[in-house]
Every structure is written in C-alpha cells, then in structure tokens.
C-alpha cells in the first residue's frame, strides 16, 4: 500500500474511533456540544432574520421604484447664514418661498427627456387640487384630488384592478375622467366595481367657492395603506387621480416643485441622477435663491441594506462569543477523556503508534464533537430563524454562505481547542502511561 493509501486508512480509523467515543458517552458529548449548538444556532438565526428583513425591505423599495430619481428645487445656502463651532445655523428668516419663476416647468422636463431619450423610460409629475368629502346620501368618502402624468402609476406602483387607466387622449385633452380607490368604491358603492365605473362623482373641494368639479370614474386602483393610522377604515383619505392637464387648467399652476424620472432598464440611477442634476441646473445657473437637487431611491436602499448588514454582523459576533465558551468546554472534556484513556494511549505508543498518529486521533475526536454540534446548531438556527422571520411577517431567507461558514468555523474550533489536549496525549511517556491507574 502506498503512502497516500496509508494516510487514508489512518484517517478513516481515527474518524471511526472519534464517533465511537462520542456514542460511548452520549450525554457527556451532548452537554459538551451544547455551547457549540447555541453559538452556531444563534448566529444562523440572526443572519436568517436579518436577511429576511433586508430582502423584504429591498423588495418593497423596488416596488416603490428603487431606480426612480426624484428631482426637485432646493434653496441655495445664504451668505447671511452664521457659523459657530463648525455648525451652520440658517435661521427661519432666511427661508424663501418659490415664485412661479423658480418652479420647474413642463418645457424643462420635455427638454430633459429629449436630451436623454435612451435613459428615461418615463416621467411622473403630480399636482394636488385639494381635499374634499364626497357624499351621497348616508355614504361618504374622504379624498384628495390629484392631477397626474402618464408615468405616475408606474413610478408609484399604483395598480389599476378594475376598469382602465387614463387614456392618452384623456391626458392630452384634459377630459373630466378619474380613477378612484377600491376603498372609495367600498364606501360609496358598497364595493360594487361595475356600479362605480361610468358613474359621475361630484366633488366640492374644502373651502367651497367655485371649486366644484364633476368627474366620470373610468378605473379603480388598489389602495395600499401608508402605515399606522388612528383614523377609522371608513374615514381614511384616499387619492382620486385625474389627468395632469385637467388639474393644471383648474389651478392655473405654471410649474412644479418636483418630479420623478423613471430610468430605463440597466441604467445606474445613482450615476444618472448626477447627469439629470447637471442638465436641470442649466436653467438655474442665474437663479440666486434656488437650485436643483436629485435623489435616487437606490442609494437609500443601498444605505439601508448596509446598515442592516452591519447590525446583523455585530449581533452575530456577540452571539459567536458562546462558541468560545463551547470551545473551552470541548478542551475541558478532551482533557478528561485523555486522563481516562491514559492506559489506551500508553498501549498504542508501546505498539508503535507515533506522536503524530496519537495527536491526529484526539484532534479528530474534537473536530467530530464540534462538527456534530455545528450540524445540530445549523438545524436549530434555521428553524429558529424561520420562526423569527415568520413572527415578524417576513419570508425566511437562510444564508447558504453563513451555513457553510458556521460549519467550517465549528471545525476550526475543534482543531484550535483540541490541539492542546491532543498534543498533551501525544507527548505522554508510554511507560508512565502503562503504569497509570
């Protein structure tokens, strides 16, 4: 048999001896592995919950339009602002109200689209006409009347579930049509979509006067709650969407404070945001009060993902401290095992076993102990992480990388904490070992 074959035989023998030793002292082995199980299980559970939270937030942000770029006007820093101890104080007296000349115009937006036709998939612009309480007999619904551009629904992930979206002709002509929420239909039409579509809605905006409009319902969208609200379900205010030109003709606005750019697939929104900012600021070069700023949701997603990853890593490191405790337990039990098997060690050395083979035997036992503990810890961690993610309302997302890393780390703990006892066994004098009682 060649040298490689001998090594393989010795490895298999040591592996068999290691598992035989574990099975011989089941309870002691289980108690020794407990620290490893808790450490590995804690780390995997924390990483699983962290991944689940990160994936859920990333998915929600993507639904909101992670590659969208928000473009808006921002007040320039004033020369009158005072500085003290490195901090800037821009008092309330420095705040300036944008005039019509400071606003972003439709022409600016159209020229931006013409400048980057391959990078812009669409643009979302909206303007509010005001709020109202729509009433019909005993039924009522609180609404906000909002004029929107064609790209608004995609940019804000608004899903029309019945009827149809606003047509191109409606956007161009400014027709008196609208899209209402399913909650509006529930309040005003007892949830009957067929009854709602084609029905005229009479709206008198809060404040009365001449702000009285009539719109025909052509579509119904799914309203998504914006978070916790103390308002009852029936009293929650939902938007009614009308064509942007219709809204502009009624409120006589000449511009916008902001708009959203929907980037084309494959475009880096962070980099493109700088291009948009540079282009739009051409119009504000001589504006002493305002400038253009851009914001990409992708940068926010990246920052949030990084922050959650850092928190998960920090907590995992703390949880991993229990692995050190588990490793000390492995070292302790290996020293006890060597003390109990002194005669066995002496006999093996008397029969010709080398220091290296004795050392390998006991290191293998420590690795086997930690390996089994690591596997059990992984199972506990996956189950615990899945339960934690489910309790928080997220889909469980175990990390294959962390599972492999945990397994390798548990084996490394076995080698590290098993080396000293194994080395001690290897250096025993066979005569002294055979005399040991």
CA-to-CA separations, 206 to 127, 138, 145, 211, in angstroms, rounded: 16, 19, 11, 8
Query: Cα(421)–Cα(335) distance, rounded to whole angstroms?
Result: 5
**Which of 205, 227, 201, 228 lies closest to 215 in space, CA to CA?**
201
Burial class (CB in 10 A: 0-12, 13-18, 19+), 220: buried
**167-175 contact pairs (CB < 8 A, 24+):** 170/218, 170/243, 171/243, 171/244, 171/245, 172/245, 173/243, 173/245, 174/243, 174/245, 174/246, 174/248, 174/249, 175/243, 175/246
Q: How far apart are CA 289 and CA 322, in angstroms?
A: 58
Whole-Å CA distances, 248 to 134, 156, 405: 21, 20, 59
* Cα 405 to Cα 410: distance, rounded to the nearest angstrom: 9
Nearest-angstrom CA–CA distance, 434 and 349: 10
Burial of 143 (0-12, 13-18, 19+ CB in 10 A): buried
The tokens for 390 are 């489910």
CA distance 352 to 239: 87
Distance CA 140, CA 63 (A): 31
Residues 260 and 70: beta-carbon distance below 8 Å: yes
Shortest CA distance to 50 belongs to which of 396, 406, 403? 396
pLDDT in tens, the chain (437 residues): 444 554 455 566 666 766 777 777 778 778 878 888 888 888 888 888 877 877 776 666 655 556 788 999 999 876 544 444 444 444 545 678 888 889 999 899 999 999 999 999 889 999 998 999 999 888 999 999 999 998 899 888 899 999 999 988 888 887 789 999 999 999 999 999 999 999 999 998 887 556 788 999 999 999 987 655 667 788 899 999 999 988 888 877 778 899 999 888 888 888 899 999 999 999 998 898 899 999 887 777 777 777 777 777 777 777 667 777 777 887 888 787 777 777 777 787 777 777 777 787 778 888 888 888 888 888 988 888 888 888 877 777 777 877 888 778 777 877 787 787 778 777 777 666 566 55
Could you tell me where the beta strands, DSSP code E, fall in 149-224?
160-163, 177-181, 200-204, 212-221
Boundaries of every domain in the chain: 9-61+303-435, 68-296
DSSP state of 148: E
Prediction pTM value: 0.59
């Amino acid at each position: 048999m060649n040298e490689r074959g001998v090594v393989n035989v010795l490895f298999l023998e040591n592996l068999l001896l290691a598992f035989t030793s574990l099975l011989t002292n089941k309870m002691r082995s289980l108690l020794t592995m407990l620290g490893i199980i808790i450490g590995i299980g804690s780390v995997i559970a924390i990483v699983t919950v962290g991944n689940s939270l990160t994936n859920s937030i990333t998915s929600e942000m993507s639904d909101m339009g992670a590659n969208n770029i928000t473009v808006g006007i921002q007040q320039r820093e004033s020369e009158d602002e005072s500085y003290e101890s490195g901090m800037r104080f821009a008092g309330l007296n420095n705040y300036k109200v944008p005039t019509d000349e400071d606003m972003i115009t439709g022409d600016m937006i159209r020229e931006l689209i013409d400048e980057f036709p391959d990078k812009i998939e669409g643009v979302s612009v909206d303007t509010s006409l005001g709020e109202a309480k729509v009433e019909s007999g005993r039924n009522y619904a609180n609404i906000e009347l909002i004029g929107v551009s064609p790209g608004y629904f995609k940019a804000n992930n608004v899903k029309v579930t019945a009827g149809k979206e606003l047509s191109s002709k409606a956007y161009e002509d400014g027709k008196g049509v609208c899209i209402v929420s399913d909650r509006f239909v529930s309040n005003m039409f007892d949830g009957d979509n067929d009854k709602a579509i084609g029905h005229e809605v009479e709206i008198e905006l809060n404040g009365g006067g001449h702000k009285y409009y009539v719109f025909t319902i052509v579509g119904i969208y799914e309203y998504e709650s914006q978070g916790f609200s103390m308002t009852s379900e029936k009293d929650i205010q939902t938007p009614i969407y009308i064509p942007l030109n219709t809204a502009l003709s009624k409120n006589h606005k000449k511009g916008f404070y902001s708009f959203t750019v929907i980037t084309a697939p494959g475009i880096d929104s962070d980099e493109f945001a700088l291009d948009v900012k540079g282009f739009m600021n051409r119009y504000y070069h001589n504006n002493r009060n305002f400038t253009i700023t851009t914001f990409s949701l992708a940068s926010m997603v990246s920052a949030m993902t990084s922050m959650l990853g850092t928190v998960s890593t920090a907590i995992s490191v703390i949880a991993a401290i229990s692995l050190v405790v588990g490793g000390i337990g492995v070292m302790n039990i290996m020293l006890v095992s060597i003390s109990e098997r002194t005669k066995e060690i002496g006999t093996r050395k008397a029969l010709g076993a080398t220091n290296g083979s004795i050392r390998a035997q006991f290191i293998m036992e420590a690795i086997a102990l930690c390996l089994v503990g690591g596997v059990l810890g992984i199972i506990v961690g996956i189950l615990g992480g899945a339960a934690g993610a489910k309790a928080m309302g997220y889909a469980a997302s175990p990390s294959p990388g962390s599972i492999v890393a945990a397994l390798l780390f548990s084996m490394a703990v076995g080698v590290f904490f098993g080396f000293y006892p194994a080395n001690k066994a290897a250096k025993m004098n066979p005569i002294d070992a055979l005399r040991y009682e």
